[in-house]
Amino acid sequence: MSHSYDCIVLGVGAMGSSTVYDLAAKRGQKVLGLEKFDIPHAEGSSHGVNRIIRLAYYEHPSYVPLMRRAYELWEEIEKMAGEKLLYRIGSIDTAPAGHEVFEGSLESCLVHDIPHEVLNHEQINRRFPGYEIPPGHMGLLQEDGGFVLAERSIVAYVNASLAAGADIHARESVLNWETSGDGVRVYTDRAEYTAEKLVITAGAWAAEMVPSLAELAVPERQVLAWFQPEDPALFTPENFPVFNAYFDEGRYYGFPVFGIPGFKIGKYHHLEEVVVPDGMGKNVTREDEEILRDATAKYFPKANGNVMTMATCMFTNSPDDHFIIGVLPDHPQVSVATGFSGHGFKFASVIGEIMGELATTGKTRHDIELLRLGRF
């Protein structure tokens, strides 16, 4: 077996699997994907049943064109896989009037001509009785919002990559990499590989691969809970849009019952715990549960039944919560995508295209000025 490639991709989670697919299937590259854990696995940021997708984007209007392309590419991989991966059930962004979560979502819709509805708290609660939004809150309902299947999407991209001729190795840890002439050399616990280009999509492990990212891509422990609704009919995908909500206690996100029992809820930056990726325990505590149960009881009271599942994952936070994408300034044959700050999965399909372009041409057709590595 040859150990020489056009491109090597480090990390085959959401971003890495999409990148391998883009390089192998669309650019005819000889590609190797290296994954430290299983494919898929539950050690990082891409595991579990689903992730929110929303076209209305309060974080910045410049994300919307990327999001539109992401939707197109999610539909493309769905067809390749012969499996439904994208569920458009609607999304609600809600916050007190004047707060950036509502106002920013509204701005993105107005700037980019996205169909939407503006609802007050009474209208939300009447239309979707699983919600109990407090007075003074406004909501933006966008019908294209919903969720993407997380692990199934990775499986789809990996299978399509293999069909296109890519090599993908799981349970193989990268020990080191170095530039070698105009190319790179990658050392693992199993072998040594060479390539013309290297793409690093290592999630919470990005700073281990690129030490200069240590202060820019910071892993954080995150916790999710699934509570059994007391009135399950209110929390089906047909009756309960996904939500991105700012309340007095902080910002929360959640899903209807789907895939496994229970209404799913999480709090952004749960306890603000910075962690070492390989040292983060998977155990959850009563405190973790109470943080999520208190918000459920207050704002989604008909979902506040028995806990069914709890799980941890990791955010990898950048200083400004925007993604970090670019070519390493001292190593033009190496590009990196990290710092997805808890809102990146929905973009995985288009991130693969961006990284494929950067790896083969050193530039991308997409506007990533907001996300460029050099801004720090």
Low-confidence ranges of the chain (pLDDT < 70): 1-2
Terminal-to-terminal C-alpha distance of the chain: 41
Distance from C-alpha of 346 to C-alpha of 50, rounded to nearest angstrom = 10
Q: Is 55 domain-assigned?
A: no
309 and 357 share a domain? no
Q: Is 240 helix (H, G, I), strand (E, B) or coil?
A: coil
Residues counted in the chain: 376
Distance from C-alpha of 28 to C-alpha of 189, rounded to nearest angstrom = 28
Instruction: Tell me which H or E stretch contains 338.
Output: strand 331-338
pLDDT of residue 142: 98
| CATH number for the domain that contains residue 36 | 3.50.50.60
Contacts of 82 (CB under 8 A, 6+ apart): none
In one letter, which amino acid is 66?
A: L
103 and 25 share a domain? no
Contacts of 303 (CB under 8 A, 6+ apart): 130, 227, 228, 229, 230, 234, 235, 263, 265, 296
Q: Is 75 domain-assigned?
A: no
CA nearest to 32, candidates 122, 175, 158, 147 = 158
Q: Is 54 domain-assigned?
A: no
Domain limit, last residue, from 317, 342, 363? 317
Distance from C-alpha of 278 to C-alpha of 127, rounded to nearest angstrom = 44
Range of the domain at 234: 91-143+218-317
pLDDT tens-digit profile of 241-252?
Answer: 999 999 999 999
238 and 334 share a domain? no
pLDDT of residue 1: 56
pLDDT of residue 281: 85
264 and 293 share a domain? yes
Distance from C-alpha of 355 to C-alpha of 178, rounded to nearest angstrom = 19
pLDDT of residue 214: 97
Q: Is 262 domain-assigned?
A: yes
CA nearest to 15, candidates 360, 322, 340, 331 = 340
Domain limit, last residue, from 317, 339, 355? 317
Torsion of CA 230, 231, 237, 242, to 10 degrees: -60
Instruction: Tell me which H or E stretch contains 347.
Output: none
Domain limit, last residue, from 273, 295, 317? 317
Q: What pTM did the predictor assign?
A: 0.97
Task: Please answer whether residues 359 and 164 qualify as being in contact, where contact means their C-beta atoms are separated by less than 8 angstroms.
Answer: no
Distance from C-alpha of 117 to C-alpha of 95, rounded to nearest angstrom = 15
What's the alpha-carbon Rg for the chain, to the nearest Å?
A: 20
Task: Please answer whether residues 17 and 161 qualify as being in contact, where contact means their C-beta atoms are separated by less than 8 angstroms.
Answer: yes
Per-residue HEC secondary structure of 102-130 comes to: HHHHHHHHHHHCCCCEEEEHHHHHHHCCC
| CATH number for the domain that contains residue 257 | 3.30.9.10
162 and 311 share a domain? no
Q: Is 77 domain-assigned?
A: no
